[in-house]
Amino acid sequence: MEWERTEGYYKPLVHVADERDEGRMLRDVLRSRVGISRRLWTKLKASEEGVTVNGNAVFSSFILSAGDIVALRMAEESSDDILPQPMALDIVHEDDDLLVLNKPAGVIVHPTTGHYANTLANGVVHYWRERGERCRFRPVNRLDEDTSGLVIVAKHPYAQQQLSAQMTAGTVLKQYRAYAYGRPPADEGEVNAPIGRVPEDPHRRAVREDGQPSLTYYSLSEAYPCGASALDIRLGTGRTHQIRVHMGAVGCPLVGDAYYADPAWMRTPLAAALSGAIGRQALHAAQLAFRHPVTGAETKLEAPLPADLRELERVLRELPPRLDVQ
């Protein structure tokens, strides 16, 4: 049976009961088999068409039989508090459940105090309205303003719930490309060090004993003769500024990162040679791999290096050797 959107609702989520569901109550099956949270279950029950079995409205205590068709219809929502603005969007993937974009550097993901316009959210809301879609902007992951790369936006509460659960469980592969001063301690390794706020600057993070557990994996992709490195980095946790803080902690601060600049590196010939080579931290969210929140299909997406990082690569390869003397 083909299921389409009906007026005021997203495309239904459908679960066909099997022998594992035989004789069980509807609410128990939806929680254990479909993964419906209590919050979403409350929303579904509030709508006449929210939950049906074989096309009929039923109570949560309804006893299922194998072959019963359970349809869940979530009411459409929209981000009416976000100003729609036309914006060029680099869409990597889109379906009924999620939108994945390649965010350019210099763009904030979501409006914040003092930044109500020109964010990724403003552009996405405008894009959806132009297409006649009513969706609330639900970013599943976020990137710093000056980090480029992949951002997942869930189109409905269930997609957000399922993807967020994967994020929490650490089953989403998040891989970055970074360009850093120096060489890491080994060609492959990890940084397992807690990260917390710096009391004097609440926006700044640092490795601190009282911080949250934080884990970063890295591998050396290319060692440039000038003394810089290209690194492939995978996150084990998702703390604010994690890569920037952890790479600085092992002596490899990111090229172009003025906020976390290491004074010793800034005095080297390498830093002088790279002055003006890039206007932001050299960090790009290059790959995401996750289980699709509705179909369960393994999904892997990639975003190519933007022009400024490709140009930085060219410069690093052409610089003379041993400019890293501190």
Distance CA 5, CA 311 (A): 45
Candidate list 144, 146, 257, 308, residue with the active-site label: 144
Tokens 């807690």 correspond to 194
**For the chain, how big is the Rg over CA atoms in Å?**
23
Distance CA 144, CA 109 (A): 8
For β-strands 138-139 and 148-154, DSSP reports them as: antiparallel
CB-based contact 118:107 (threshold 8 Å) = yes
Q: How is residue 166 written in tokens?
A: 């994967």
Contact residues for 186 (Cβ-Cβ < 8 A; gap 6+): none
DSSP β-bridge partners for residue 215: 192
* Residue 28 bears catalytic tag: no
Question: Cα 171–26–299 angle (5° rounding)?
Answer: 25
Q: Could you tell me the CA-to-CA distances from 76 to 157, 279, 285, 315 in Å, in that order?
A: 10, 40, 30, 49
Residues labelled as active-site residues? 144
